[in-house]
Amino acid sequence: MRSLKWIASAACSKVADRRACRVFFPVAVSKQAARKRADALREALREHNHRYYVLDDPSVSDAEYDRLFRELQSIESDYPDLLTDDSPTQRVGARPATQFSSVDHASPMLSLGNCFDDQELQDFDRRVRETLGISSDIAYIGEPKYDGAAVNLSYDGGVLVRGATRGDGRTGEDITSNIRTIRNLPLRLRGRGHPARLEVRGEVVMPRDEFAQLNARLEAAGQKAFVNPRNAAAGSLRQLDPAITADRPLYFYAHGVGVYEGNKPASDYDTMQQLKAWGLPIGSHLTRLDGLDACRDYRASLLQARPGMQVEIDGCVFKVDDEAARQELGFVSRAPRWATAYKFPAEEATTTLLAVEFQVGRTGALTPVARLEPVFVGGATVSNATLHNMDEIARKDVRIGDTVTVRRAGDVIPEVLGPVLSERPDDAQVIQAPRQCPDCGSAVERPEGEAVIRCTGGLVCQAQLREALKHFVSRQALDIDGLGARQIEQFVAEGLLASPVDIFRLNTHRAALLERDGYGEKSVDNLLGAIEASKQTTLARFIYALGIREVGSTTANDLAAHFGELEALQSAARAYADKLAEPAPEDETAAARERRLGESELRQMPNVGPTVAEHIAGFFAEPRNREVVSALLAQGIEWPAPRAASGAQPLKGKTLVLTGSLPDWTRDQAKQRIEAAGGRVTGSVSKKTDYVVAGSDAGSKLEKAERLGVSVIDQSGLQALLEG
Ligand code: IVH
């Protein structure tokens, strides 16, 4: 009664006319009825949703569901103030965003250690038992490792308030509006006893069949299809318009919790059952397992079930079930010691090798590419696969017409493993190495000791030119938006581009650009604007863009940080070329020559060995390359001057300790980089240590750091420090 009076008087206070107030009373009464009805409808729709999407056991027809849904919509539109955020009608409520804001996860989203065979799983189990001092079987839970997009959902008082991507594990993107559109996910938890705050972690996935249907729809609409269900899930979650996400067949599966402000069960299995009771979808394969043997059996049965599963999985995850044991086990770097992912082998399939083509790369290398009868493997349809080089072809004895085994794992390029000899047809053809470049017809060469065949056409070869230009504009190089592979191929074919310098002369061909199909004033302006903007770059990007053989972005960064100026790099390259040309003492041994060359400044860099140094020296020794470099600079490409010596030393005065192995750097390389940034590397952890850089298999130093409260970072954390 009280609330009714309040509604009525609040409404009356806004309305001066008493008659309006009199009219209002009957409305308020029916509004109370409307509220009751809306609540009942919401309850019913939530229940139907749960039965349909989570239990897969609907109890009403679609038509009946739609009728209830429309009735609720109509009440909510008559009484907008009755609308609640967690109403089933509000899955697609939000308007398109212009960008996603970033959110810090309340507790970090960790990664998982891996094992690839039974021995490694046994080692994992042994480490767990040793740390816990338990000799009997450990209770684990086993789950599929879902191949999707990791997300973090926050429920406050049982209501979904936020959904975020994993991001780097600490900070992700706020994708709440998109998350809300996922039908099998409750906007409000069922039942009672919800924690005040709950963070649910899980994976958003797209089932195989629905993925195929989505791709068919996209292609029919002239849009680009997704490579695999994981990319489709991740891409759908990152749509700025939630209406698009709502149209995508996405499902969520919970696999853990972050924050849990309430009475958390002592076992993770029980926690997961609790989530399930609250209406959160839990994968049907979640199982409690006693000891190592049960884990092995679980993996074997999951591996068998895998081909028939709609949701793609790339392994299974084993986690210690007991919460207290988890606390005791703790973490290494950013992965828990209480869990491991046992990866499945990469998927393989057989198909027919139809032909072999040789693709010309940026540096003229010819790579044999197998054209295959399309086959679905590892979550994608594969019609091309690499054969690596002629040595590999000979070693595997693959022939055209053969039935071949193809492997594809994750995002890596699919490869041909070998022929199925029992199925070799009589007319299978041996693959011949080309004598001429398939693109420019120049002779090919195969330097002694190398497996790679190269086109000798250099700048004459349009294929090399195209690849060099694609590299020049790529994201880590000058990053020119709107100048993609397709445009470059067209512009090269039409003679608009014959060198990277021509990119900066495209503005003199405005009229020619405007004549092209699909180019209006606006797109030409955008393209020319992006080209102009790319002139403000960094030395590292510029060095990388030059496409010097074996100089990837890491080496380019190192060179830029060390030399600061292009001239300094060029003169070091000259000095190295001079050293290479120096007449060597007649009796010089290989080791002595190595010592002599190793003293050069260029060779002092981490990652620059004899081959890379030779490529750098060779690049700058070539007059045509020097001309291109000066012409580019004359076009106004520039970068900020190097920071003053003190500024370039972001680790000055800091002491770091390295432990474990880093993913990309050797210990020496990490040490050199830290020292180049002014830091000191010591062997043991103390209270004076500023950072411990931990890689995989970090040992007692990491434990000590945790005990002393010293900051622990991983390779990317170190990279961030080095970049200041
Ligand atoms: S547990 C601390 N369980 O794999 C443990 N993760 O490599 C954290 N993933 O991005 C994760 N299926 O999103 C766990 N059943 C599962 C999983 C799973 C897929 C993802 C997870 C994370 C990555 C870790």
- Domain end, chosen from 299, 319, 343, is at 343
Q: List pocket residues of ligand 1, CB cut-off 6 Å.
A: 110-112, 143, 145-146, 150, 166, 203, 255-256, 317, 336, 339, 341
Same domain (yes/no): 134, 27: no
- Residue 2 has what pLDDT? 28
Whose C-alpha lies nearest to ligand 1, atom 12?
145
Atom of ligand 1 at shortest distance to CA of 143? Answer: 15
Distance (Å, whole) CA 452 – CA 359? 12
602 lies in some domain: yes
| Domain CATH number, residue 626 | 1.10.150.20
Same domain (yes/no): 525, 553: no
356 lies in some domain: yes
Quick check: 718 and 658 in contact, CB under 8 A? no
Distance (Å, whole) CA 47 – CA 58? 9
Range of the domain at 706: 646-722
Reduced to 3 states (helix: H, G, I; strand: E, B; else coil), residue 666 is: coil
- Domain end, chosen from 504, 534, 564, is at 534
94 lies in some domain: no
- Residue 166 has what pLDDT? 93
Distance (Å) from CA 31 to ligand 1 centroid: 47
Instruction: Look up residue 81 and give its DSSP letter.
Output: G
- The per-residue DSSP string of 242-290 comes to HHHHHTS--EEEEEEEEEE-S---SBHHHHHHHHHHTT--B-TT-EEEE
Whose C-alpha lies nearest to ligand 1, atom 24?
111
Distance (Å, whole) CA 342 – CA 326? 19
Same domain (yes/no): 626, 704: no
- Residue 648 has what pLDDT? 66
Q: pLDDT by residue (tens digit) across 143-196? A: 999 999 999 999 999 999 999 999 888 889 999 999 999 999 999 999 999 999
Report the number of distinct structural domains present in the chain.
6
List of E strands, 409-501: 415-419, 429-430, 444-445, 453-455
Same domain (yes/no): 435, 558: no
108 lies in some domain: no
Whose C-alpha lies nearest to ligand 1, atom 10?
150
13 lies in some domain: yes
Q: Residue 134 burial by CB count (10 A; 0-12/13-18/19+): exposed, middle or buried?
A: exposed
Distance (Å) from CA 145 to ligand 1 centroid: 6
Atom of ligand 1 at shortest distance to CA of 147? Answer: 19
Distance (Å, whole) CA 78 – CA 70? 12
Distance (Å, whole) CA 718 – CA 706? 17
Q: pLDDT by residue (tens digit) across 330-341? A: 988 778 999 999
Instruction: Tell me the residue type at 14.
Output: K
The pick from 253, 299, 317 for probing ligand 1's pocket by mutation, whose C-beta has the most ligand atoms within 8 angstroms, reads 317
Same domain (yes/no): 235, 302: yes
User: What global pTM score does this model have?
Assistant: 0.59
Residue 328 tokens, joined: 């005791």
| Domain CATH number, residue 717 | 3.40.50.10190
Q: Which of 687, 673, 676 is nearest to 718 (CA)?
A: 673
Same domain (yes/no): 168, 25: no
Same domain (yes/no): 405, 482: no
- Residue 602 has what pLDDT? 92
Same domain (yes/no): 271, 301: yes
Whose C-alpha lies nearest to ligand 1, atom 13?
150
- Domain end, chosen from 66, 83, 100, is at 83
Same domain (yes/no): 354, 396: yes
Same domain (yes/no): 308, 227: yes
Atom of ligand 1 at shortest distance to CA of 341? Answer: 7
- Residue 161 has what pLDDT? 96
Active site residue ranges = 145
Reduced to 3 states (helix: H, G, I; strand: E, B; else coil), residue 147 is: coil
Residue 450: how many CB atoms within 10 A of its CB? 12
Whose C-alpha lies nearest to ligand 1, atom 22?
111
Residue 113 CB contacts under 8 Å (≥ 6 apart), including other chains: 124, 332, 335, 336, 337, 339, 340, 341, 696
Q: pLDDT by residue (tens digit) across 52-109? A: 888 878 888 888 998 999 999 999 999 999 988 889 988 876 777 778 898 999 888 9
Distance (Å, whole) CA 181 – CA 382? 31
Same domain (yes/no): 249, 152: yes
- Residue 380 has what pLDDT? 78
639 lies in some domain: no
Distance (Å, whole) CA 52 – CA 67? 16
The pick from 107, 112, 257 for probing ligand 1's pocket by mutation, whose C-beta has the most ligand atoms within 8 angstroms, reads 112
Same domain (yes/no): 256, 123: yes
69 lies in some domain: yes
**Phi, psi at 584, each rounded to 5°:** -85, 145
Atom of ligand 1 at shortest distance to CA of 203? Answer: 13
Share of the chain above pLDDT 70, in %: 94
- Residue 480 has what pLDDT? 93
Distance (Å) from CA 150 to ligand 1 centroid: 7
Distance (Å, whole) CA 511 – CA 521? 10
Residues in the chain predicted with pLDDT less than 70, given as ranges, are 1-29, 93, 409-411, 643-648
Distance (Å, whole) CA 444 – CA 390? 13
Residue 171 CB contacts under 8 Å (≥ 6 apart), including other chains: 102, 103, 104, 105
99 lies in some domain: no
Reduced to 3 states (helix: H, G, I; strand: E, B; else coil), residue 465 is: helix
- Residue 6 has what pLDDT? 28
